[in-house]
Amino acid sequence: MWSRVVQHGWRAAAVGAPAVTVRRVEEANEKRHGMLARLKVSEKEKEGLQGKAEEAQQFLDKQAEMLRCRINSTHAFTMKVQVRQRGRGDGCV
């Protein structure tokens, strides 16, 4: 296609290449660099929030454990009441 490539700093332009093609490649490269910069920023933000997410998960796990204990104690209390009522012979449950 094109016989040689001329280096211009960080970019290379093919000698004899249509200016439109070179411009489109440069625009696509700039767009890619912009996307990479946004990706790096968002990854840093995500890492910063990771500790808060773990803390929130620990809180939710503790809340779930407390709820399970409360349900179990309520169930045990209900069973104890039923046993007492049967022992008295009330017939009420």
Q: How many of the other CB atoms lie within 10 Å of CB of 14?
A: 15
User: Residue 91 pLDDT more than 60?
Assistant: no
Report pLDDT for 20. Answer: 80
Which tens digit of pLDDT belongs to each residue from 21-76?
A: 889 999 999 999 999 999 999 999 999 999 999 999 999 999 999 999 999 999 99
Query: d(Cα 7, Cα 26) in Å, to the nearest integer?
Result: 13
Q: What are the DSSP calls for the chain, one per residue?
A: --S-EEEETTEEEETT--HHHHHHHHHHHHHHHHHHHHHHHHHHHHHHHHHHHHHHHHHHHHHHHHHHHHHHHHHHHHHHHHHHHHHHT----
Alpha carbon distance 49, 37 (integer Å): 19
Query: N- to C-terminal Cα distance for the chain?
Result: 93
Q: What is the mean pLDDT of residues 75-85?
A: 93
pTM for the whole structure: 0.51
The pLDDT-based confidence of 19 (bands split at 50, 70, 90) is confident
